[in-house]
Structure 1
Amino acid sequence: MSATYRRTAATMSTEVGDDVVALQADRGFAYGMEQVTASVWKLLEQPRDLDALVGALTAEYEVDEDECRHEVGALLERMTAEGLVEQVQ
């Protein structure tokens, strides 16, 4: 079973058009997210695992499923390291 991810409670965000701006006030960092990264962030409004994210993204974008899985997995690792998302299982 793959890990489920969710946004951290310490991260606030707002949509600006199709983009997202996220803020971690306690760390003093702001993040701009565009296109696929913004889509992943929006999908993580509810906890989701990698399979659910890949399914939603391959339906929205023309991308190979294996490439999408690899890229989204790497994105989730970076977002976790930055404290934007966390694993819930």
Structure 2
Amino acid sequence: MGNGDELPGTAVIVATDDQLATTVDDETVLLQTDTGTYYGFNEVAARVWDVVQEATTVTEVVETIRAEYDVDASQCRRDVESILHEMEAADLVRIDLEPATAD
């Protein structure tokens, strides 16, 4: 998936298991244990990270961020998608574009 591709609202996002995270001075810092790579998240990215600890949809992530921050809906969607794409590129989250549906 390209970094600029729009994610469907029904896509399911979940954090991968191979990292440790902590908060230091209002910044979330992650250590990816497989690679030894550190990542620092700003406040919004840290909140996205918190939300995706349990499998959730893109729409749910966007709604959570929008409810907590004063941001335009379309801007929020773009920002959240950008954060999710960056997290996916770093193997911090999995994005399932076609989640199984209950029949």
- Note whether the superposition's TM-score is higher than 0.5: yes
Q: Tell me, which stretches of 5 or more residues in structure 2 are unaligned? A: 1-8
TM-score (norm 1): 0.90
Among 30, 35, 38, the alignment partner of 2:46 is 38
The match for 2:5 is none
Q: Which residue of 1 aligns with 2:93?
A: 85
Deviations 1:44-71 (A, max 9, x none): 1211111101111111000001111111
Q: 2:84 aligns with which of 52, 76, 83?
A: 76
Whether 1:22 aligns to 2:25 is no
Cα root mean square deviation, aligned: 1.4
1:18, 1:38 within 8 Å by CA — same for their partners in 2?
A: no
How far, CA to CA, are the matches of 1:43 and 1:53 in structure 2?
A: 7
Q: Which has the larger radius of gyration?
A: 2
Residues 26-84 of structure 1, C-alpha deviations (whole Å, 9 max, x = no match): 11101111210011011112111111011111110000011111111111111101011
Q: Percent identity?
A: 34
Residue 18 of structure 1 and its aligned partner are, at CA, apart by 3.1
Aligned length: 89
Report deviation, 1:19: 2.1
Equivalent residue, structure 2, for 1:5: 13
Query: Structure 2: how far apart are the matches of 1:12 and 1:47?
Result: 18
Offset of residue 17 of structure 1: 4.6
1:67 aligns with 2:75: yes
5+ residue gaps, structure 1, are none
